[in-house]
Amino acid sequence: MQPRSAAAAGRDFPYTSRTTCYIEISEGGTVSHGIDSGTYERARSGKSSLYAVWPGEWSSHLFVIDDLDEYARAHGIIHDQGRTGLAEHEHLVRWKLSPDETKPNASYVDIELELDCGCVIEDLRAFANQMRTQRGWDIATSGGWSSSTRQGHNTTYSLRARRKSLS
Ligand SMILES: [Zn+2]
C-alpha cells in the first residue's frame, strides 16, 4: 500500500486529533505506535520515519508525515504565530481578578485578562506555556475559558490561574 502525503493535505491534516494514530518506524525496522517527545528529532534526523492513519473519510489510508515542520507546529514543538495567534515576545498583559470570583483566596481563581501587545489567544495551551516561561504563571488549561470583545476595546479573556503564581 502506497502511503498518501500528509503534506499534500496541508493544514487540513488532523495532526493533533485524538483519532489520528501515529506509527514510527526506526531505521532498523522497529515499529512503534504513538509518538513521544523524541519522535520529531528522530524523524528529522532520518533515524526513523513517521506515518499516521487518519480514520474516517480516509479510513483505509496510511499517510506519511512528510512535512515535519507542520507536524511540529501542530504539536507546539515549533511555535506557530498563525495557528496560536501569539507572537513570540513578552506579552503586554493587563489582568485583574474576575469580579465574579466568589472565592478570591482559593488556590485557583478566575481572572480577566487583556493583551495590549496585539496578540489573540487561539490556543490556550500555547499561551499558558508562554506565560509560564515569561512570568511563572500557572494557567489552567483543562477547564473552560472564554473571550469577549466590546467594540473599540481589546478582547477580554476569562481564564483560571493558580493565585500564587500571578504577578
Ligand atoms: Zn503578545
Q: What is the pLDDT of residues 61-113, one digit of tens each?
A: 899 999 999 999 888 888 889 889 999 999 999 999 999 999 999 999 999 99
Could you tell me if 30 and 94 lie in one domain?
no
Mean pLDDT, residues 35-52? 95
Could you tell me if 35 and 92 lie in one domain?
no
The residue segments making up the domain with residue 21 are 4-78
Q: Assess whether pLDDT exceeds 60 at residue 58.
A: no
Could you tell me if 152 and 88 lie in one domain?
yes
In the numeric block, which cell numbers belong to residue 37?
Answer: 517527545
Could you tell me if 121 and 142 lie in one domain?
yes
Could you tell me if 122 and 156 lie in one domain?
yes
- Among 78, 110, 141, the domain-final residue is 78
- Among 48, 78, 108, the domain-final residue is 78
- Among 22, 53, 78, the domain-final residue is 78
Question: How far, in Å, from the CA of 167 to the mean position of ligand 1?
Answer: 17
Mean pLDDT, residues 117-124? 94
Q: Assess whether pLDDT exceeds 80 at residue 34.
A: yes
In the numeric block, which cell numbers belong to residue 152?
Answer: 473599540
Could you tell me if 111 and 73 lie in one domain?
no
Could you tell me if 58 and 37 lie in one domain?
yes
Give the Cα separation of 3 and 52 in Å (integer).
9
Question: How far, in Å, from the CA of 51 to the mean position of ligand 1?
Answer: 34
Q: Assess whether pLDDT exceeds 70 at residue 114.
A: yes
Residue with cell 507546539: 76
Could you tell me if 120 and 57 lie in one domain?
no
Number of domains observed in the structure of the chain = 2
**87 burial level (CB within 10 Å; 0-12, 13-18, 19+):** middle
Could you tell me if 51 and 93 lie in one domain?
no
Mean pLDDT, residues 10-27? 91
- Chain mean pLDDT for the chain: 92
Could you tell me if 109 and 153 lie in one domain?
yes
Could you tell me if 94 and 154 lie in one domain?
yes
Question: How far, in Å, from the CA of 165 to the mean position of ligand 1?
Answer: 19
Give the Cα separation of 22 and 159 in Å (integer).
32
**33 burial level (CB within 10 Å; 0-12, 13-18, 19+):** exposed
In this prediction, residue 55 carries a pLDDT of 75
Q: Assess whether pLDDT exceeds 70 at residue 146.
A: yes
Could you tell me if 12 and 62 lie in one domain?
yes
Neighbours of ion ligand 1 (CB under 5 A): 87, 91, 117, 119
Contacts 24+ apart (CB under 8 A), 153-156: 154/114, 154/115, 154/116, 155/114, 155/115, 155/120, 155/121, 156/112, 156/113, 156/114
